[in-house]
Chains A and B, each alone.
Chain A
């Protein structure tokens, strides 16, 4: 199984900040990584796939980087709607998810 480890688990930030969330895979997953945003009681929403490709309709304030085992999600100019939980997801070897990073307001 591919284990996905996100850091930090909780991130406190202010509107307008730039934040970065990290995700590490236990094996080489090449570029087969997606990022999702989830709000309480809602379905996860796709933000980025293939590590760095922005899903249609997603703000360009979101960006992804990485390959192999190290990946990051960066959000520029945090907006109130961005405060949510973010998950990385690998789809290289079966499927697995990171444990989530809760982004809350400082």
Chain B
């Protein structure tokens, strides 16, 4: 059974960095593209980034391009999201999600983790 467990969230100050992790089990991570999506009460679900099965192709939402970096370590069955120069508006629950395909922009997120909360506040 597919399981995705996010970690690394917390309370941070504006301008700082944070790295989220997503540990995958119940499926072969290296066979699938992976997503990060965040959710806030105001803006709802916002797609952030996708990475191909081998890590070579990455696509980002305009809102995080240049500040966030998606990466993966298939040997550790783990997906990452490096978030730099955090802003108050980045406060959200962050979800990782498995794609239905191995390449980017050909499938959609089918299984999601439970999410990890990031709060950016001074």
Question: Do the two shown chains form a genuine complex with each other?
Answer: yes
Q: Which residues of A contact B (CB under 8 A)?
A: 1, 32, 34, 41-46, 49, 55, 87, 89, 91, 94-100
**Complex alpha-carbon distance, A42 and B45, angstroms:** 13
Interface of B toward A, CB cutoff 8 Å: 35, 44-47, 50, 59, 61-62, 95, 100, 105, 107-115
Whether the Cβ atoms of B45 and A44 lie closer than 8 Å is: yes
In order of increasing CB-CB distance, the 5 nearest A-B pairs are A91-B108, A43-B112, A95-B47, A97-B45, A99-B44
- Please name 13 further chain A to chain B contacts, defined as beta carbons within 8 Å, in addition to the given A91-B108, A94-B61, sorted by A numbering: A34-B108, A43-B95, A43-B112, A44-B45, A45-B112, A46-B110, A46-B111, A49-B100, A55-B110, A89-B108, A95-B108, A97-B45, A100-B45
Contacts A42-B114, A91-B108; is A97 near B50 (CB within 8 Å)?
A: no
